[in-house]
């Protein structure tokens, strides 16, 4: 009877160890998968953040140059109005650039 109980205990202990060993391996695998997924999400987030930053920098740059063209055109128009412009072709170039710059600012603000 003792031998039977000892054999039963040994089998139960072996089954218990295997079951928990499998469960532990499954938990380790799940944890590794979560860590990998977290890394992928972090990398994607960094890539998106960088793309948005570059896009905003580009928009700011476009707005800056449009503003410069408008400022130059307004200065030229003021100069024409006060008789300081000696070259009408040069003046009209800046007025055209200002119009293009203003159009770009309007398109950027809508899009």
The 10s digit of each residue's pLDDT in 38-93 is 888 888 888 888 888 888 788 788 888 888 888 887 777 666 666 554 556 666 66
Position 78 scores a pLDDT of 67
Position 90 scores a pLDDT of 65
Buried b (16+ CB within 10 A) or exposed e, 7-37: eeeeeeeeeeeeeeeeeeeeeeeeeeeeeee
Angle in degrees, CA 97, 102, 108, rounded to 5: 125
Angle in degrees, CA 87, 89, 94, rounded to 5: 100
Q: By the 8 A CB rule, do 72 and 95 touch?
A: no
Position 79 scores a pLDDT of 66
In the predicted model, what is the mean pLDDT of residues 92-103? 72
Position 86 scores a pLDDT of 55
Q: What is the dihedral of CA 17, 22, 23, 26, to 10 degrees?
A: 160
In the predicted model, what is the mean pLDDT of residues 7-31? 73
Greater confidence (89 vs 100) lies with 100
User: CA–CA separation, 105 vs 75, rounded Å?
Assistant: 19
Is the per-residue pLDDT at 104 higher than 60? yes
List alpha helices for the chain, DSSP H.
2-81, 88-110
Greater confidence (19 vs 14) lies with 14
Position 88 scores a pLDDT of 61
């Amino acid at each position: 009877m003792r031998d039977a109980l000892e054999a039963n205990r040994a089998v139960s202990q072996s089954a218990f160890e295997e079951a928990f060993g499998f469960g532990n391996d499954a938990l380790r695998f799940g944890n590794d998968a979560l860590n990998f997924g977290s890394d992928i999400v972090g990398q994607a987030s960094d890539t998106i953040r960088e793309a948005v930053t570059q896009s905003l920098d580009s928009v700011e740059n476009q707005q800056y140059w449009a503003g410069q063209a408008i400022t130059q055109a307004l200065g030229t128009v003021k100069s024409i109005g006060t008789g300081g412009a000696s070259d009408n072709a040069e003046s009209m170039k800046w007025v055209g650039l200002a119009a293009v710059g203003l159009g770009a600012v309007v398109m950027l603000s809508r899009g």
